[in-house]
Amino acid sequence: MAPSFLKEIRRRSKSSFRTDRSTDSSSGSGTTNDSSPATKSSSTLSSINGGTTPPSTAPVLTSLTLASNIQKLNKTPPLTPGRPTAPAAAVNRQSVSGMSGLGSPSPMSTLPCSPYAPRILSISDNTWVYQKLLSIYGTIADPATQALEGNLTVSRLDDGFPPTYWPVSDSHFKALIYLTPGPNRLRFDFTSTKLANSNSSNPLHSSYLTIHMLPPQCSPPLQLVILVAKDSPGTFDAVPARIEKEGNGLETAIRKFRMAAYLWQAFTAEQMYRNKLGRRVFRMEEEWVTGTSNLRDIETGTMRSEAKIHVVRCEKTVAEIRDLDIAQQYSSANRKGELFNIATEAVKNYFKSLPGQKQYVSVLILDAHWDKQAQTITGHAALGGGGGDLQLAICGSHALQSYPSCIEEVVPAFSDCTPTNTNHVANDCNESGSNWEAANIGIGAHLHETGHLFGCPHSESGIMLRDYVTLNRSFTTREPYSTRTRSKGGVVLPKDECSWHRLDCLRFRGHPCFALPTDAPRSNDDCVQVWPVDGGNLVLTAPSGLAFMEIYTPGDDVCHYWQEFGDGNGNGPIQKQFILTEQDLRLRVPEDRRKSKLRLSIKSITGGTHEVEDFGLLASKTSRLKLPNGQTAYRSSKVGLSQMNGSHPQEFVFNSAIHQTKLLTQVKVYHGFAVDGIEFIYEDSTSQLFGRRGGQPGGSDFFLDTRRGEYITGFYVRSGFWVDGIAIMTSLGRKSATFGNASGGSGHTLIPPRGYSIAGVTGSCADWVDGFGILLTR
């Protein structure tokens, strides 16, 4: 019978007998799973050094060894059978790729950074942005001492987007980065034939950056539309070689238009940042489709959330659209803007927006074509603007062949010097003599019209002047030969780029399409009012806050002088009231114009506007009147244009403001689709009528609670060319219904500035009220 200690040994697993040096040569089939970790590590390190591993020999299980194991069994608990843990020395083999000279350090590495690692100057680590395509700028080493040429590779650490490659010129680089929601961990590698280790698969000259992208959902989107005729073949102008290479059908048009819109976003966000207004930018509606922003997605069919391009068919034929060429549009007033009207109707029929649901739509007219014989572009118009519930921009597709269709094509598109073949495509305004210049004109001119859509007028410089002929400079570091300027080009830096004018950026800051998730709740009242007060000054008020004021002198077709309120960057305290003195105002214009007539356009933070046609007249004695009780009253600026046929001025001081015994008890508003008149009725049944008694019989009544001392403190007016609707506001915080057309025109809140009260009303009336203001006094 076997000794009792041998029975105990049999109950133990075989692995209990092994030491760190042993191998079990007697186990089953002898698979590789039976090799110890120590043996594996030794073999791996040996192969790295180029040597061979000596065969391992199993130790002999002697009686001494057996006795030693029996002694251990009596002192230690049973071990759970399983794969032994690898010794610590085996982990070190993972660090081989990080050894000096053999590869790039990881983001967590403590190795010193290469002096040639890319330096990103336009954005810092862990910044939050709000658009899909980010434009960056940076340098390699010190451009002042070294002019390096090479390539920059931008890659995501998660491989969620394929690497992109960007040229480095004179140590400067620009790149576009495709971002996805959340953290985007990026790696930048610089390679150059003049630097060591640049030709390896894992170069040393690397840097890392994390960008967080938060897609805004708190703002109305910019809708992108391709407009086609009802019988359109769905093609755009292109030379035969292009058609053979990439096609000129609707799918290609969608990819190119989408990429152009991404460039608009990247350019605008960077411009807003340079103007210290944050990285705010308009958003676009998106859809889940096969990705088109890079070539790999197209080849593999990878799905992504991309900007949605709506294809809208209008009721016109190709022949009817082509007949509306530029010469016809602008040679006769009755045909001017016909394409804009066609696009407006088609877009409204397509989106079927609800009343009050404002749409912002940028349209590419696919059936614009170059007519070689007539030497004109038919079916094309570049217009932007709109009103009511639709803001619209339109532009033709005659330069579409030159657009990039994905990120990899951006630099080639803006570097393509292929001459424009006017047998097939247009040389627009003789400024598109080569493909890269045509891309500037097409993408830039459409962005210009989209600027009009967002409320930007023409400006003294920038995109809204026509500086988009250098749009390429925002995405490349070297400009090729230009047929427009007959110059050979060269390195272009941020200071050489085109821009949005400062005033455009200030408009964007308050535009609803540029709202960010971090913004404070938006005020519903965007109005601005101007009040003459004591001392020949004006008081500017805006419930949402004052943004900036444009100053025009005689002959100015664009704004050259302006004043910003607060710190100008939207970061300081909001100013809701500002006292404007004539001396301060005139010091903002050149000395030779300080005595001239000054026209003002004051903007609120939420985009409202108030126009003062003549500052001097509004601040003069003509805006004052003496009340019978000796007080001085001031006429506010009016809403409504007072330009209807038969319009005549009307004005009176409230009887209750002169005689304390008079008590105003009721207001009756006469209205239909507009305000016909307003009657103020007193306790003794006397009344004062502003305007006329028209509209619906009897009008609409609003009663004041005189027992609680309620009185009128202001009016809310809907107006445009005339006064569409009006509501009464009181000292008890009450506000009447808006009598008349409650959705007509735009809203204006007439509440006197602090320290003043309403003494009467002023304005004008024709068939109905076409101008309205208030008289105020201390």
Q: Whole-angstrom Cα distance, residue 279 to residue 269?
A: 5
Last residue of a domain, one of 618, 645, 674: 618
- Contact (Cβ atoms closer than 8 angstroms) between residue 274 and residue 212: no
- Give residue 615's pLDDT: 92
Q: Whole-angstrom Cα distance, residue 712 to residue 356?
A: 29
> Domain check: are 533 and 613 in the same one?
yes
The answer to whether residue 765 sits within a structural domain is: yes
| pLDDT < 70: residue spans in the chain | 1-112, 197-203, 324-336, 567-572
Q: Could you tell me the two tokens for 125?
A: 């680590």
The answer to whether residue 519 sits within a structural domain is: no
Q: Which residue has the tokens 């062949």?
A: 401
> Domain check: are 333 and 439 in the same one?
yes
Enumerate residues 6+ apart whose C-beta is below 8 A from 510: 547, 603, 604, 605, 606, 607
Domain around 371: 222-512
> Domain check: are 367 and 421 in the same one?
yes
> Domain check: are 233 and 193 in the same one?
no
- Contact (Cβ atoms closer than 8 angstroms) between residue 191 and residue 153: yes
Q: Could you tell me the two tokens for 441?
A: 């004109």
- Give residue 374's pLDDT: 86
| Strand 309-313 with 222-228, pairing | parallel
Q: Could you tell me the two tokens for 161?
A: 């987007």
Last residue of a domain, one of 213, 239, 262: 213
Backbone φ and ψ for 317, nearest 5 degrees, come out as: -85, 170
> Domain check: are 179 and 256 in the same one?
no
* Element containing residue 503 per DSSP (H, E): helix 502-510
CATH number for 689: 2.100.10.30
- Give residue 323's pLDDT: 75
- Give residue 398's pLDDT: 93
Q: Whole-angstrom Cα distance, residue 740 to residue 455?
A: 27
The answer to whether residue 421 sits within a structural domain is: yes
> Domain check: are 601 and 661 in the same one?
no
> Domain check: are 155 and 294 in the same one?
no
Number of domains observed in the structure of the chain: 4
CATH number for 174: 2.60.40.10
Nearest-5° Cα angle at 575, 570 to 581: 120
Last residue of a domain, one of 213, 246, 281: 213
SS (H, E, C) 563-626: EECCCCCCCCCCCCEEEECHHHHHCCCCHHHCCCCCEEEEEECCCCEEEECCHHHHCCHHHEEE
Closest CA to 346 of 382, 379, 310, 319: 310
The answer to whether residue 110 sits within a structural domain is: no
The one catalytic residue in 306, 409, 449, 479 is: 449
- Contact (Cβ atoms closer than 8 angstroms) between residue 298 and residue 406: yes
The answer to whether residue 172 sits within a structural domain is: yes
The answer to whether residue 56 sits within a structural domain is: no
Enumerate residues 6+ apart whose C-beta is below 8 A from 17: 61, 69
- Give residue 250's pLDDT: 96
CA atoms within 13 A on the CB side of 697: 0
> Domain check: are 158 and 270 in the same one?
no
- Contact (Cβ atoms closer than 8 angstroms) between residue 90 and residue 35: no
- Give residue 354's pLDDT: 86
Q: Could you tell me the two tokens for 252?
A: 């290609």
The answer to whether residue 2 sits within a structural domain is: no
> Domain check: are 602 and 640 in the same one?
no
The answer to whether residue 16 sits within a structural domain is: no
- Contact (Cβ atoms closer than 8 angstroms) between residue 215 and residue 283: yes
Q: Whole-angstrom Cα distance, residue 726 to residue 750?
A: 10
- 594 to 27, 122, 579, 583: CA distances (angstroms): 103, 40, 19, 9
> Domain check: are 190 and 237 in the same one?
no
> Domain check: are 342 and 226 in the same one?
yes
> Domain check: are 392 and 501 in the same one?
yes
- Clarify whether 449 is annotated catalytic: yes
Q: Whole-angstrom Cα distance, residue 522 to residue 110?
A: 47
